Amino acid sequence: MSGTTCAICLEDAKSPVSIPCGHIHCEKCLIQCVEACDDAVECPCPTCRALFMIATPDLRFVPAKYHPFIQSSVRRVYPSPSDVVQALEERNETLRSDNSALKDKIKNFKARNDHLQRDKQRLMDTCEATQAAVANYREMERQLRDEIDLSQAPTTDELDFAQVNQERHGR
């Protein structure tokens, strides 16, 4: 709220309240002052030291004709519509800039994600090509071993000769 400064915390009054002398303070700041006060009925204004009532009389014991004149000595101060509009416009502008910053971050994250997806695809392609090459080498190795086994295996003529020899010498 522009133009209303709390004399206690020296900032814009948050939840501003007014006391009978006309000074405006933050509600929390005034509560702290009242709690620090020694008297349970009256308390001095933190700005001008004018006393104000902190206890509200029980209306059951006050004649009804006086009820309209009894008011709380601490009253809430409401901001003017222009202050509210200004605060809302400032908040709206802040939200717009935050929104723009977030859109930029999203754009950067999408670009990074696209880059990572391309890297992932390249790695997958390389991995698949390597697996295919390994499978090809395995097949070639198997074929070579089969060829070596066939070249070292005895032929049927050699087997027949060995069998005949064994029969002759074995008897």
| Domain extents in the chain | 1-78, 93-155
Task: Calculate Rg over the CA atoms of the chain.
Answer: 48
And the tokens for 117? Answer: 């997806």
Print pLDDT tens along the chain (171 aa): 445 888 889 888 888 888 888 888 998 999 899 899 888 788 899 989 988 888 777 778 888 888 777 777 777 777 667 777 888 888 999 999 999 999 999 999 999 999 999 999 999 999 999 999 999 999 999 998 888 877 776 666 666 666 666 777 765
Q: Looking up tokens 């004018």, which residue turns up?
A: 50
The Cα–Cα gap between 130 and 169 comes to: 57
Q: Are 34 and 43 in contact (CB under 8 A)?
A: yes
Under CATH, which number does the domain 1-78 receive? 3.30.40.10
Strand partners, 24: 18
Sign of the four-CA dihedral 140, 141, 142, 143: positive
Q: Are 20 and 50 in contact (CB under 8 A)?
A: yes
Q: Are 48 and 21 in contact (CB under 8 A)?
A: yes
Strand partners, 5: 12
- Report pTM: 0.42
Q: Are 23 and 77 in contact (CB under 8 A)?
A: no
The Cα–Cα gap between 68 and 61 comes to: 14
Which of these, 55, 45, 53, 52, lies nearest to 25 by C-alpha position?
A: 45
